[in-house]
Structure 1
Amino acid sequence: MRLLVDSHVALWRLERNNEMGPECRSKLEQASEVFFSAVTPWELGIKVALGQLSMHHRDPFARMLVAQAQLDVPALVTADRVLSRYGVELVAARS
Protein backbone atom coordinates (compact mmCIF):
# COMPACT_ATOMS: atom_id res chain seq x y z
CA MET A 1 0.00 0.00 0.00
CA ARG A 2 1.20 3.54 -0.79
CA LEU A 3 0.18 6.30 1.61
CA LEU A 4 0.18 10.10 1.45
CA VAL A 5 0.53 11.63 4.91
CA ASP A 6 -1.15 14.85 6.02
CA SER A 7 1.01 17.49 7.72
CA HIS A 8 -0.21 16.84 11.26
CA VAL A 9 0.42 13.11 10.87
CA ALA A 10 3.92 13.92 9.57
CA LEU A 11 4.55 15.96 12.70
CA TRP A 12 3.22 13.20 14.94
CA ARG A 13 5.50 10.71 13.24
CA LEU A 14 8.53 12.98 13.51
CA GLU A 15 7.86 13.79 17.15
CA ARG A 16 6.90 10.20 18.01
CA ASN A 17 3.67 11.69 19.33
CA ASN A 18 1.09 9.39 20.91
CA GLU A 19 -1.78 11.06 19.04
CA MET A 20 -1.46 8.53 16.21
CA GLY A 21 -3.75 5.56 16.66
CA PRO A 22 -2.49 1.98 16.58
CA GLU A 23 -4.23 1.13 13.29
CA CYS A 24 -2.72 4.16 11.59
CA ARG A 25 0.74 3.39 13.01
CA SER A 26 0.45 -0.20 11.78
CA LYS A 27 -0.57 0.88 8.27
CA LEU A 28 2.34 3.30 8.09
CA GLU A 29 4.77 0.59 9.19
CA GLN A 30 3.38 -1.89 6.65
CA ALA A 31 3.16 0.55 3.74
CA SER A 32 5.35 -0.10 0.73
CA GLU A 33 5.84 3.66 0.37
CA VAL A 34 4.96 6.66 2.55
CA PHE A 35 4.81 10.04 0.83
CA PHE A 36 4.94 13.54 2.24
CA SER A 37 3.59 16.24 -0.03
CA ALA A 38 5.80 19.02 -1.32
CA VAL A 39 3.31 21.38 0.33
CA THR A 40 3.94 19.91 3.80
CA PRO A 41 7.14 21.92 4.45
CA TRP A 42 5.36 25.01 3.10
CA GLU A 43 2.39 24.50 5.41
CA LEU A 44 4.64 23.89 8.41
CA GLY A 45 6.65 27.02 7.57
CA ILE A 46 3.46 29.09 7.45
CA LYS A 47 2.28 27.65 10.77
CA VAL A 48 5.61 28.53 12.34
CA ALA A 49 5.29 32.06 10.97
CA LEU A 50 1.79 32.32 12.46
CA GLY A 51 3.08 31.19 15.84
CA GLN A 52 1.38 27.82 15.75
CA LEU A 53 4.72 25.97 15.92
CA SER A 54 8.01 26.87 17.54
CA MET A 55 10.12 29.25 15.50
CA HIS A 56 13.88 29.43 15.88
CA HIS A 57 14.58 31.07 12.55
CA ARG A 58 13.02 34.12 10.90
CA ASP A 59 13.60 32.91 7.34
CA PRO A 60 10.50 30.98 6.20
CA PHE A 61 12.48 29.22 3.48
CA ALA A 62 15.00 27.96 6.02
CA ARG A 63 12.12 26.62 8.11
CA MET A 64 10.69 24.87 5.05
CA LEU A 65 14.09 23.27 4.40
CA VAL A 66 14.15 22.05 7.98
CA ALA A 67 10.64 20.62 7.66
CA GLN A 68 11.61 18.82 4.47
CA ALA A 69 14.79 17.50 6.09
CA GLN A 70 12.77 16.21 9.04
CA LEU A 71 10.49 14.34 6.66
CA ASP A 72 12.77 13.15 3.89
CA VAL A 73 16.49 13.05 4.65
CA PRO A 74 18.83 12.08 7.48
CA ALA A 75 20.86 15.32 7.42
CA LEU A 76 20.73 18.88 6.10
CA VAL A 77 23.86 20.39 4.58
CA THR A 78 24.04 24.05 5.63
CA ALA A 79 26.25 26.75 7.07
CA ASP A 80 23.33 28.04 9.17
CA ARG A 81 23.98 26.78 12.72
CA VAL A 82 20.68 28.20 14.01
CA LEU A 83 18.88 25.36 12.23
CA SER A 84 20.30 22.89 14.76
CA ARG A 85 17.69 24.21 17.22
CA TYR A 86 15.08 22.27 15.24
CA GLY A 87 16.68 18.94 16.13
CA VAL A 88 17.78 17.99 12.62
CA GLU A 89 21.22 16.62 11.95
CA LEU A 90 23.37 19.18 10.21
CA VAL A 91 26.38 18.68 7.98
CA ALA A 92 28.53 21.80 8.30
CA ALA A 93 29.01 23.32 4.86
CA ARG A 94 32.21 25.08 5.90
CA SER A 95 34.12 22.11 7.28
Structure 2
Amino acid sequence: MKLLLDTRAFLWAVIDPDRLSPAARGALCDPGNTVAVSAVSFWEVALKTALGKLTLSGKDPEGLIDAALAQGFDLLPLDPGPAARFHRLPTHPQHRDPFNRMLAWQALAEGYTLVSRDRQLTRAPPDGLRVLW
Protein backbone atom coordinates (compact mmCIF):
# COMPACT_ATOMS: atom_id res chain seq x y z
CA MET A 1 0.00 0.00 0.00
CA LYS A 2 1.20 3.53 -0.78
CA LEU A 3 0.84 5.80 2.25
CA LEU A 4 1.11 9.58 2.37
CA LEU A 5 1.52 11.02 5.86
CA ASP A 6 -0.22 14.27 6.64
CA THR A 7 1.92 16.76 8.53
CA ARG A 8 0.75 15.81 12.02
CA ALA A 9 1.18 12.09 11.34
CA PHE A 10 4.65 12.76 9.95
CA LEU A 11 5.72 14.79 12.98
CA TRP A 12 4.40 12.16 15.34
CA ALA A 13 6.12 9.39 13.36
CA VAL A 14 9.54 11.02 13.75
CA ILE A 15 9.17 12.75 17.13
CA ASP A 16 6.55 10.88 19.19
CA PRO A 17 5.37 7.64 17.47
CA ASP A 18 3.22 6.62 20.45
CA ARG A 19 0.76 9.36 19.47
CA LEU A 20 -0.03 7.55 16.21
CA SER A 21 -3.03 5.25 16.21
CA PRO A 22 -2.28 1.52 16.41
CA ALA A 23 -3.49 1.13 12.81
CA ALA A 24 -1.21 3.93 11.59
CA ARG A 25 1.81 2.57 13.50
CA GLY A 26 1.18 -0.90 12.09
CA ALA A 27 0.91 0.40 8.54
CA LEU A 28 4.12 2.42 8.87
CA CYS A 29 5.99 -0.64 10.18
CA ASP A 30 4.73 -2.95 7.43
CA PRO A 31 7.68 -3.49 5.05
CA GLY A 32 5.24 -4.07 2.20
CA ASN A 33 4.05 -0.46 2.40
CA THR A 34 5.67 2.58 0.83
CA VAL A 35 5.50 5.63 3.11
CA ALA A 36 5.88 9.13 1.71
CA VAL A 37 6.05 12.67 3.06
CA SER A 38 5.03 15.52 0.79
CA ALA A 39 6.91 18.75 0.18
CA VAL A 40 3.64 20.33 1.34
CA SER A 41 4.32 19.06 4.89
CA PHE A 42 7.85 20.47 4.95
CA TRP A 43 6.49 23.81 3.76
CA GLU A 44 3.74 23.77 6.42
CA VAL A 45 6.25 23.02 9.20
CA ALA A 46 8.66 25.72 7.99
CA LEU A 47 5.88 28.30 7.71
CA LYS A 48 4.36 27.54 11.11
CA THR A 49 7.82 27.52 12.72
CA ALA A 50 8.63 30.91 11.18
CA LEU A 51 5.30 32.32 12.42
CA GLY A 52 5.89 30.98 15.94
CA LYS A 53 2.89 28.64 15.73
CA LEU A 54 4.98 25.46 15.95
CA THR A 55 7.94 24.51 18.09
CA LEU A 56 9.73 21.28 17.34
CA SER A 57 11.29 19.47 20.26
CA GLY A 58 14.97 19.13 19.42
CA LYS A 59 14.54 19.48 15.65
CA ASP A 60 14.39 22.25 13.10
CA PRO A 61 12.46 22.09 9.82
CA GLU A 62 15.57 21.25 7.79
CA GLY A 63 16.40 18.38 10.15
CA LEU A 64 13.05 16.79 9.40
CA ILE A 65 14.24 15.88 5.92
CA ASP A 66 17.00 13.73 7.38
CA ALA A 67 14.57 12.33 9.96
CA ALA A 68 12.18 11.29 7.18
CA LEU A 69 14.95 9.65 5.18
CA ALA A 70 16.25 7.88 8.31
CA GLN A 71 12.78 6.35 8.74
CA GLY A 72 12.89 5.13 5.15
CA PHE A 73 10.16 7.53 4.01
CA ASP A 74 10.06 8.71 0.41
CA LEU A 75 10.03 12.46 -0.25
CA LEU A 76 7.15 13.36 -2.55
CA PRO A 77 7.44 16.58 -4.56
CA LEU A 78 4.43 18.69 -5.36
CA ASP A 79 4.15 18.62 -9.12
CA PRO A 80 2.57 21.55 -10.97
CA GLY A 81 -0.18 19.39 -12.53
CA PRO A 82 -1.82 18.23 -9.29
CA ALA A 83 -1.24 21.68 -7.77
CA ALA A 84 -3.07 23.36 -10.67
CA ARG A 85 -5.95 20.86 -10.46
CA PHE A 86 -6.40 21.43 -6.69
CA HIS A 87 -9.52 23.51 -7.38
CA ARG A 88 -11.31 20.27 -8.34
CA LEU A 89 -11.26 18.99 -4.74
CA PRO A 90 -14.80 19.41 -3.39
CA THR A 91 -14.96 22.04 -0.68
CA HIS A 92 -16.32 20.93 2.67
CA PRO A 93 -17.73 23.95 4.54
CA GLN A 94 -16.10 22.88 7.82
CA HIS A 95 -12.71 22.08 6.33
CA ARG A 96 -10.58 25.11 5.67
CA ASP A 97 -7.05 23.78 6.35
CA PRO A 98 -5.32 24.40 3.02
CA PHE A 99 -2.38 22.14 3.87
CA ASN A 100 -4.50 19.08 4.69
CA ARG A 101 -6.72 19.77 1.70
CA MET A 102 -3.67 19.87 -0.59
CA LEU A 103 -2.31 16.67 0.98
CA ALA A 104 -5.70 15.01 0.47
CA TRP A 105 -5.74 16.13 -3.15
CA GLN A 106 -2.17 14.94 -3.70
CA ALA A 107 -2.99 11.54 -2.17
CA LEU A 108 -6.10 11.25 -4.33
CA ALA A 109 -4.36 12.39 -7.51
CA GLU A 110 -1.32 10.14 -7.03
CA GLY A 111 -2.97 6.99 -5.67
CA TYR A 112 -1.91 7.18 -2.01
CA THR A 113 -3.84 6.37 1.14
CA LEU A 114 -3.66 9.43 3.38
CA VAL A 115 -2.59 8.77 6.97
CA SER A 116 -4.44 11.45 8.90
CA ARG A 117 -6.32 12.10 12.11
CA ASP A 118 -8.13 15.06 10.53
CA ARG A 119 -11.74 14.47 11.52
CA GLN A 120 -13.14 16.32 8.52
CA LEU A 121 -11.27 13.97 6.20
CA THR A 122 -11.93 10.78 8.16
CA ARG A 123 -15.67 11.48 8.52
CA ALA A 124 -16.41 12.57 4.98
CA PRO A 125 -13.48 11.96 2.64
CA PRO A 126 -13.78 13.23 -0.92
CA ASP A 127 -14.86 10.54 -3.37
CA GLY A 128 -12.04 8.10 -3.95
CA LEU A 129 -9.80 9.29 -1.10
CA ARG A 130 -8.66 6.52 1.22
CA VAL A 131 -7.86 7.69 4.75
CA LEU A 132 -6.18 5.59 7.42
CA TRP A 133 -6.09 6.40 11.08
Return the letter of the residue paired with 1:70.
A
- For residues 36-70 of structure 1, the C-alpha deviation after alignment (integer angstroms, 9 at most, x for no partner) is 00121111001111212227xxxxxxx54322222
Instruction: Tell me whether 1:69 sits opposite 2:66 in the alignment.
Output: yes
* Residue number in structure 2 paired with 1:45: 46
TM-score normalised by L of structure 1: 0.59
Equivalent in the alignment of 1:32: 33
RCO higher in structure (CA 8 A, sep ≥6): 2
Percent identity over the alignment is 30
Structure 2 length normalisation: TM-score? Answer: 0.44
Q: Distance in 2 between matches of 1:8 and 1:15?
A: 10
Give the whole-Å Cα distance in 2 for the aligned partners of 1:28 and 1:65: 22
Question: Deviation of residue 26 (structure 1)?
Answer: 0.6
Residue 3 of structure 2 aligns to a residue whose secondary structure is strand
Q: Aligned residues, how many?
A: 67
8 A Cα contact 1:44 1:67, kept in partner: no
Aligned to 1:85: none
Separation of aligned partners in 2, 1:25 and 1:17: 7
* In 2, Cα distance between equivalents of 1:25 and 1:9: 10
Q: Which amino acid aligns with 2:53?
A: Q
SS class of match (2:42)? helix
**C-alpha distance in structure 1 between counterparts of 2:22 and 2:29, whole Å:** 10
For the Cα contact (< 8 Å) 2:14–2:68, is it kept in 1?
yes
- Which residue in the other structure is 2:18 paired with? 18
Alpha-carbon distance in structure 2 between the residues aligned to 1:17 and 1:25: 7
